Homo-oligomer: A and B are copies of this chain.
Amino acid sequence: MCPPDDLNAEARRHAERFQRVREAHQTELAEDYVELIAHLIEETGEARVVDLAGWLGVTNATVNNTIQRLQRDGLVTTKPYRSIFLTDAGRELAEQSRKRHDIVREFLIALGVDSQTADIDAEGIEHHVSSATLKAFAKFVNKARRST
């Protein structure tokens, strides 16, 4: 009797979007960690638990837990009481995250947001930007650059 009702279709689409956001959440922390680890290795030669804890604003114990999970997931390697290294997968994820982060940050600045706010917001936004949107951001940055 009922026509295939559009309300359900809308609900379904909505639900899909939510599932996607939930999935993104699961990779956020991993991205932040590998990005930071790559940065520390580049800048200081090594990544230690205590440094990560300081940069992330959490305790050493928390970092340790998380590193175990990242190791389980094949993103980092480490031996007891030693510093942390990225696997190939970890390095790749780190590189990709860094690029995205930079584009988002530059985009916000090009849009007229002050650089401190850009730093803060980029940290949250970067994990939720699809490649299509990222492309649009990059295009805008380039256009803004050319016109100055």
Partner-B contacts on A (CB < 8 A): 8, 11-21, 24-25, 32, 36, 51, 54-58, 108, 111-114, 117-121, 123-125, 127-130, 132-133, 136-137, 139-140
Closest 4 CB pairs of A and B: A124-B128, A15-B57, A17-B123, A117-B132
Interfacial chain B residues near A118, Cβ < 8 Å: 133
Given A15-B54, A18-B32, A57-B19; A139-B112 close (CB under 8 Å): yes
Q: Give A18 to B140 CA distance when docked, in angstroms.
A: 27
Q: A15-B54, A136-B111 are in contact. Are A128 and B130 (CB under 8 A)?
A: no
Dominant SS among interface residues on chain A: helix
A42 to chain B, nearest CB (A): 13
CB neighbours (8 Å) of A14 from chain B are 36, 55-57
Contact A120 B124 (CB under 8 A): no
Residues of B within 8 A of A130 (CB): 117, 120-121
B55 lies within 8 A of A15 (CB): yes
* Bound Cα distance from A75 to B136, whole angstroms: 36
In the bound assembly, the distance between CA atoms of A114 and B32 in angstroms comes to 28
Within 8 Å by CB of A57, from B18, B51, B108, B133, lies B18
Contact of A133 among B113, B127, B132 (CB under 8 A): B113
Contact of A21 among B19, B123, B136, B139 (CB under 8 A): B123
Task: Judge whether B128 and A112 touch: CB under 8 Å.
Answer: no
